[in-house]
Amino acid sequence: MTREEALSLVEKKVKQKNLIKHCLAVEAVMRKLAKEFGEDEKKWGLTGLLHDIDYGETMDKPEEHSMRGADYLEDMGMPGDMVQAVRVHNEAHGLPRKSMLDKALYAADPLTGLIVAGALIHPEKKLAPLNTEFLLNRFQEKSFARGANREQISSCIELGLTLDEFIALGLEAMQEIDKDLGL
């Protein structure tokens, strides 16, 4: 599947504009992580882009989210490691994350929310002026971006990255696509 085909599929299946932007952000972070680890940037990017493909159907059924998406991707003939990463990114299932791809998607998913929230509270409402220190300070504030699971983000240690490194990498990835994100 090409990136263009994947994006078209996301735009067809996911109706919320902010969720499409979230998928684009996770794609960017996953590509950056793949580059960092010498992995397949296309595969990791597509995994990020497609990870919430079922959310329009499962947003009121968290116990089905990611299972339905993984099944959908499997039926389309996507590689097994991509399907597995999508399946295990929802912690509600309690499935183990074994591969680097699994662990990267799990950590990257909430990181994008933290970064977007940081941009939205910044006076300029943009990603460009943000830096890692600003986001690390917000990370420590429990009332800030409550939906961005800190434990999940901190699982970046399983990738061999410190929290500082992970946030810096994610921020850089998202700053590179700031126009697509409207930030």
pLDDT in tens, 36-67: 999 999 999 999 999 999 998 998 998 999 99
Segment 131-151 shows an average pLDDT of: 94
97, 63, 80, 38: CA torsion to nearest 10: -40
pTM of structure = 0.97
DSSP state at residue 65:
T
pLDDT in tens, 148-159: 999 999 999 999
pLDDT in tens, 66-91: 999 999 999 999 999 999 999 999 99
151, 172, 177, 83: CA torsion to nearest 10: -40
Q: Which pLDDT belongs to residue 182?
A: 96
Task: Indicate whether 142 pLDDT > 90.
Answer: no
Q: Which pLDDT belongs to residue 171?
A: 98
Segment 123-147 shows an average pLDDT of: 94
CA distance 163 to 144: 17
Among all chains, which residue has been given the structure tokens 């996953």?
A: 30
CATH code for position 123: 1.10.3210
Tell me how many domains the chain contains. 1
Q: How many CB atoms lie within 10 A of CB 165?
A: 15
Segment 109-122 shows an average pLDDT of: 96
- CB 159, CB 166: distance < 8 Å: yes
Nearest of 86, 152, 60 to residue 114 by alpha carbon:
152
pLDDT in tens, 6-26: 999 999 999 999 999 999 999
| Amino acid type, 108 | A
pLDDT in tens, 89-113: 999 899 999 999 999 999 999 999 9
Residue 91: domain span:
3-181
CA distance 13 to 81: 22
69, 29, 101, 51: CA torsion to nearest 10: 0
